[in-house]
Amino acid sequence: MYRLFDTYIRSVRILLFVIFTCSISSPLAWGQSNDATVLLLNSYHPQYPWTKALTDAVSETLDGRVKSENLHIDYLDGRFMIDNATYRQTLKQRIEVKYAKINPDVIIASDDYAVNFLLEEGDRIFPGVPVVYVGVNFLSPELANRDNYIGIIEGVDIEGNINLMLNMLPDTESLILLCDSTNFGQHITKLAEEIINTNRTTHGWEHVDFDVWNNFTLPVLYERLSVLPDNTAVLLLAIHSDKDGRYFSYTDDLPDLTTASNSPVYGMFGAVMLGQGIVGGNINSPMNQGKHVATLALNLLSGASISDLPKSTMGSFSPKFDYRALKRFNISANQLPQGSTIVFEPHSNVFKTEQLTYALVAIVVITSLGLVFYNNVRRRVAEEKANTDALTKLPNRRAADEWLSKQWTLSTGHQKGFAIGILDIDHFKRVNDEYGHDIGDTVLIHISKRIQKVLRNSDRLYRWGGEEFVIYFDFVDPDTLDKVGNRLLHAIRHTPIEPAGTITASLGIAISSDFESLESLLIRADTALYYVKQNGRDNLSRVSAS
């Protein structure tokens, strides 16, 4: 009975969390804080699990705080081109051209390749922009001395992992450290050798024969691993490629490596290694680090001084293991460090059935509490989406029809009327033909923002379709309408949008009358617009109620 109640309580919490999340995710309940722009510059391609997990964590943390179109995510593909000078030169040109018109307020740099790129080129391409780094293995003097750089040092817990391995497997006589011969590989190899030499006596490692393997082809490596003697363990530091330049994929090649090895393989980079055949180790988490740096970025965007935030924070490691690999090498739970997490552990069918039964009972009980509220939230979100133009985020034609019909009904028989304006961007087809639809979309977005800034609080703007917008004018008098309309055209005309240059628009306005239908009013506004189009464009025409 206690387990049923406990499951019920946990299920209630989960459902309420889902409901709460849905409600705050709705545009009705959650506003954007500002127009800040963030650039997430990743060292590696998203096929690299660490990069994907960290990118997801950053995106989720910024969601709702930074507009989705203002989060720019780029990948430098450094794992494929880690020591390629020609690629690096081309990369400088690509980044400089791509972001010539995008001025990020904060840059989040993931892993050493991107951070080193910014240390060399950032002041020239992104002058004065603060950088929040993550995934950096070592705090170099140059990074430490940059006043506009803060972040997390990922580190490499070589010492901690060697201690963990020898405590779990005290009979170990030989410990192989795997790395490659890239610049990073040479650096981490040197660090490992320094750690071993420094701690061999103090940590009681005298009985262990350490050997660094960093010069191999993958087939030869697999063969050597398959014939390791008893009482041997392997610590995989990092491999980008073998000595022939063949790329090492942690998704495709690591399972082959761990399968070939007749000794347990340990590692420290959880997102890329765990689940690919390694036993486990002191593991780091890209999700935690991604959330951390995204929070630092939000602090900067909120006005915090970079000098008041921690210069660097060390990433954390915790013991985590793969149940399947533990079973393969007959390592029991008693051999694991205290506080260890075991993943990929199966449950018995009886246990699964019992838990499923409790969960189903709990869901049935709480459905009546949450379903109505949840459906109401979903309905509101769906209505909001159906009434919003996906590109400009303005109310769309469907929303305009509903609002104008309502206002028409309210104004009929009363002295107070209103006016309808139809605004059309001049020569918009030429913009699409000459510069492409992406630039055309940019023009539409900029024009919509310019119009909103000029309109009065009582007016309303709608995306009617194509390059046309409909404006509801809360009617005052014809002269006021003309002034507002001319201000709109002036704001559009005097705000060039590169590379299209100067953009103009034409506006037709019709004042409502008690003696016509809404459809007739729209036709008169469209006729007024047509008159402007036939007489030179970049102007307005107004027809009165009479």
Catalytic residue list = 467
Nearest to 540, CA basis, from 440, 449, 426:
426
Round to whole Å and give the CA distance between 199 and 160. Answer: 11
State how far the alpha carbon of 392 is from the alpha carbons of 63, 161, 359, 465, 484, in Å.
19, 52, 43, 11, 21
Identity of the amino acid at 162: I
Q: DSSP strand E in 237-380: where?
A: 265-267, 280-283, 312-314, 318-322, 341-343
What secondary structure does DSSP assign to 300-334, as a single string? HHTT--GGGS-SEEEPP-EEEEEHHHHHHTT--GG
Residue for token pair 């070589």:
158
For 434, what's the count of Cα atoms within 13 Å in the CB-facing half-sphere?
9
Enter the DSSP assignment of 337. P
Enter the DSSP assignment of 69. G
Round to whole Å and give the CA distance between 86 and 64. Answer: 39
Round to whole Å and give the CA distance between 111 and 510. Answer: 59
Nearest to 285, CA basis, from 271, 298, 297:
271
Round to whole Å and give the CA distance between 426 and 96. Answer: 32
Residue for token pair 């075991």:
342
Residue for token pair 């990929």:
344
Collapse the DSSP code of 427 into the 3-class scheme (helix H, G, I; strand E, B; otherwise coil) and give the result: coil
Quick check: 161 and 235 in contact, CB under 8 A? Answer: yes
Residue for token pair 């009975």:
1
Nearest to 522, CA basis, from 511, 533, 532:
511
Quick check: 108 and 293 in contact, CB under 8 A? Answer: yes
